[in-house]
Amino acid sequence: MTFDMNDVAPQQSGDLIPDGTFAKVTMSIRKGGTDGMSEVDRGLLKPSNQPGSDVLMVDAEFTVAEGPHARRKFWQNFTVQGGKLDEQGQSIGWKISKGQFRAMIDSALGLNPDDMSEAAKAKRMLRGLADLDGITFVAKIQIEKSRNPAYKDANKLDHVVLPTAPEWQKVMAGEAVPAQPAQRAQAPAQPAAPAWGQSQPAAAPAAPAWSTPASQPAAQPAAEPAAPKPAGGPAWLNP
């Protein structure tokens, strides 16, 4: 018996997807073992590993669907319960994630974000967060610098590209879109101290623990097989 290794793609380098890349990506949800609030979300959510935290998250894996970076992957967590609360007692993290999830639906289905017709509103209805598993949309990808030397820099979702953006039209048409790296804020230059005030500078204090969140490790565990989709799912699962 022989094994033909020619039918697999060459191993990809460990280089990151360039900062500011526009691409069509597919999101898969890696089950975290904790039940969500919906029947279809059984075992879907991932609890935070921070002691005492009540945060529950969607653990998402993004795969570039086509183009020069096809099949490249990156990972990101989205808070859906717990964490800091706003003045109304609502989870701030969930409000942010909910806005991103809505944008994914609009991008996937070509919906104008201002379209609040009954037909458009119906397409934004989910039975649960599990319905987002398998959604394909246009994304802008960034490189997030790691603040923890134990981890490498990582690709993350910069933002979902909506159908109202010219980049969405080009990506959906299969056209190449130049990367647009984000403009990072630079610290203002400090005026030089007078000669009489120059002395040996004190060592900078270490950053407090709460300013160094954990980043996604470079190596990722294999995702478990996706569960079969129940009937009556969202439009992007029912072509």
Q: How confident is the model at residue 20 (pLDDT cuts 50, 70, 90)?
A: very high
pLDDT computed for residue 6 by the predictor: 80
117-162 pLDDT, tens digit each: 999 999 999 999 999 999 999 999 999 999 998 989 999 999 999 9
Q: How far apart are CA 107 and CA 116, in angstroms?
A: 15
In a domain, 210, yes or no: no
Count of alpha carbons within 13 angstroms of residue 104, beta-carbon side = 27
Q: Average pLDDT of 78-83?
A: 96
Residue with the larger pLDDT of the pair 159 and 196? 159
Q: Average pLDDT of 43-49?
A: 96
Q: Average pLDDT of 225-234?
A: 54
pLDDT computed for residue 13 by the predictor: 55
Q: How far apart are CA 174 and CA 185, in angstroms?
A: 32
Is the per-residue pLDDT at 32 higher than 60?
yes
Residue with the larger pLDDT of the pair 210 and 57? 57
pLDDT computed for residue 208 by the predictor: 40
DSSP 34: B
In a domain, 1, yes or no: no
Buried residues in 196-232 as b, exposed as e (16+ CB within 10 A): eeeeeeeeeeeeeeeeeeebbeeeeeeeeeeeeeeee
Is the per-residue pLDDT at 235 higher than 50?
yes
Residue with the larger pLDDT of the pair 3 and 129? 129
Q: Average pLDDT of 90-117?
A: 97
7: phi then psi, degrees, rounded to nearest 5 = -95, 15
What's the pTM value of the predicted model, to 2 decimals?
0.74
pLDDT computed for residue 224 by the predictor: 44
In a domain, 57, yes or no: yes
pLDDT computed for residue 156 by the predictor: 97
pLDDT computed for residue 210 by the predictor: 25
In a domain, 237, yes or no: no
Q: How far apart are CA 77 and CA 96, in angstroms?
A: 12
Is the per-residue pLDDT at 56 higher than 90?
yes
DSSP 170: H
Q: Average pLDDT of 13-28?
A: 92
In a domain, 6, yes or no: no
In a domain, 197, yes or no: no
Is the per-residue pLDDT at 37 higher than 70?
yes
Give me the number of domains the chain comprises: 1
CA 35 to each of CA 16, 93, 100, 195: distance values in angstroms, whole numbers, following the listed order? 33, 18, 21, 64
Q: Average pLDDT of 49-58?
A: 96
Task: Give the CA radius of gyration of the chain.
Answer: 21
- Residue of 112, 103, 106, 78 whose CA lies nearest to 216: 78
In a domain, 227, yes or no: no
In a domain, 164, yes or no: yes
pLDDT computed for residue 45 by the predictor: 98
Residue 124's domain comprises: 15-180
Is the per-residue pLDDT at 63 higher than 70?
yes
- Residue of 99, 177, 97, 94 whose CA lies nearest to 138: 177
pLDDT computed for residue 85 by the predictor: 94
